[in-house]
Structure 1
Amino acid sequence: MNDSIKPPKSIMRKVGRAVADFKMIRDGDRILLGVSGGKDSLTLLQVLSHLQRYAPVEFELGVITVDPEIEGFDPAPLKAYYEALGVSWVYAEQPIMQEARENMSGDSFCAYCARMKRGIMYSTCRKQGYNVLALAQHLDDLAESLMMSLFHGGQMRTMKAHYVNDAGDIRIIRPLVYCRETQTGEFAVKAGLPIIPDSCPACFTKPTQRAYMKQLLAREERSNSHLFANMLHAMKPMMDEAPP
């Protein structure tokens, strides 16, 4: 794999610590990375490709992009990018937005879309022999999820860093859980990664709880520079499921 775009040490150190703390990658793993074309997943692709070359464990890496068939989503730059990297990739198409309008009940568009994409990624893992699914959520995402759970669900919960799916056959890892969104954004721009603009109409016409929490946390961080470090300290026990 072409490793010409090396992520900065500030990202690699945090990913290395997360991988070690949560025992994310094991010798012989076959990892499928979900890439939407956003800054976070493209950053994680570069991180994992670098780890693949230099980590003390050997693992295989593949990529899947799910096209929800939304007007304006053009994955062509991603296809060329994967081929240039020499990474094995899967391109899956499904009219998720249309299906959401026809079948959705009680969910937000974002929740429905995420669930459908996850099902496609699980299915691809099984068909192609991947035992690990890598996702690109970062510390900001986990903090927002915690706030949403607290405000709207009455529970203290957030995303797991490493866990096993309900069927027990696929491990899910989130190597960016210690990284900030500003870090992935800065790297993606400086490295010239082929970012695909978000064209989902639901994101523009239906402001989400997550967007509100992002704004709330940003306001608080302006007066409390240790906010996310403190939240990570509080969330860490919730993030660890320690799969066998």
Structure 2
Amino acid sequence: MNTPITPPSEEAARPPHALWATPGKKLQRIVARTLIEFSMIQPNDRILIGLSGGKDSLSLIHALRHVQRRAPIPFELAAITIDPMTPGFDPSPLRGYLADLGLPYFVEREDIVGLATEHMRGDSYCAFCARMKRGLLYKAARREGYNVLALAQHLDDLAESFLMSAFHGGKLNTMKAHYRNDAGDLRIIRPFVRVRERALIDFARTNGLPVIKDNCPACFAKPTQREHFKQLLAAEERLNPQLFRSLESTLAPLMREGFDTCLTAPPETPSP
């Protein structure tokens, strides 16, 4: 079930600066470098931030607001939450928090678990849920006139995706830093692709961000492939503290739109 998105008032769109958290200098530098490197923000962009309520997406709101206040070009920010209507998910704290910040905020509700039970065929729940959420984000962005969707995946996420793709998909691939959707009418950006997860944990904790814990029943039921590779990377990093510096270099070309590598055997050369 969808509920209409209610636009915020003009008064709510004026943020009280005292409530915004300022990222540390290192986080500022990494985000600024990434935005420039991948040409993520253009003049007069209207950017809709996907807000799950986790530490990453809450941190992204503050990081992009910091950029917005200092950027030489104008652009707009808003946030959106997809409410999957699971019993443990309550976005009401986010409503109050975003209202206090004065950031335009929208909520899109859909019974994703119910739809998965009814329609999912030969797919994982996580994959089905991701597709549903992506479709709802695109739909809302178009309806409300936003041309850019900002997502909060970080370097650890990209490393896990890379291993999942190589080990299970036969491709050297990961999430893209900046790309267009298939329809070509929306751009998707990930400003945290060079940021470590631990930096976002520290930022959220230091600034008391109202993090909503994971509540997905499917994720609680059994460990996911992603969790397996997270643990694998953590074990390797204990042996090699420079692991993620190497992975960042490895993943850099794969972050770019259109760069994918398949691990397939070369065609056989016919015998003379």
TM-score in same-fold range (> 0.5): yes
The residue type paired with residue 177 of structure 1 is V
Select 1:150's aligned residue among 143, 166, 179. 166
**What is the deviation of 1:111?**
1.2
Could you say which residue in structure 2 is the equivalent of 1:66? Answer: 82
Unaligned runs of 5+ in 1: none
Residue 114 of structure 2 is aligned to residue 112 of structure 1: no
Query: Partners of 2:124 and 2:109 in 1: how far apart?
Result: 21
Select 2:244's aligned residue among 228, 236, 242. 228
Could you say which residue in structure 2 is the equivalent of 1:52? Answer: 68
Query: Partners of 2:16 and 2:39 in 1: how far apart?
Result: 26
Q: Deviations over 1:115-135 (max 9, x none)?
A: 101101100111111110000
**What is the deviation of 1:28?**
0.6
Q: Deviations over 1:190-223 (max 9, x none)?
A: 1011101111111111211100000000000001
Residue 108 of structure 2 is aligned to residue 92 of structure 1: yes
**Which of structures 1 and 2 has the bigger CA Rg?**
2
Give the number of the structure whose residues are more often helix, by fraction: 1
Residue 206 of structure 2 is aligned to residue 190 of structure 1: yes
Unaligned runs of 5+ in 2: 1-14, 259-272
Identity %: 55
Could you say which residue in structure 2 is the equivalent of 1:16? Answer: 32
Could you say which residue in structure 2 is the equivalent of 1:206? Answer: 222
SS of equivalent to 1:204: helix
**What is the deviation of 1:188?**
0.5
SS of equivalent to 2:64: helix
Query: Partners of 2:71 and 2:241 in 1: how far apart?
Result: 32
**What is the deviation of 1:114?**
1.0
The residue type paired with residue 2 of structure 1 is P
Could you say which residue in structure 2 is the equivalent of 1:2? Answer: 16
Greater mean alpha carbon deviation, residues 98-107 or residues 173-182: 98-107
The residue type paired with residue 24 of structure 1 is M
Could you say which residue in structure 1 is the equivalent of 2:270? Answer: none
Query: Partners of 2:91 and 2:203 in 1: how far apart?
Result: 20
Residue 150 of structure 2 is aligned to residue 124 of structure 1: no
SS of equivalent to 2:141: helix
Residue 139 of structure 2 is aligned to residue 139 of structure 1: no
The residue type paired with residue 222 of structure 2 is K
Could you say which residue in structure 1 is the equivalent of 2:232? Answer: 216
TM-score by length of structure 2 reads 0.87
**What is the deviation of 1:2?**
3.2
Q: Deviations over 1:25-76 (max 9, x none)?
A: 0111000000000000000001111111111221000110010001111111
Query: Partners of 1:85 and 1:109 in 2: how far apart?
Result: 34
SS of equivalent to 1:160: coil
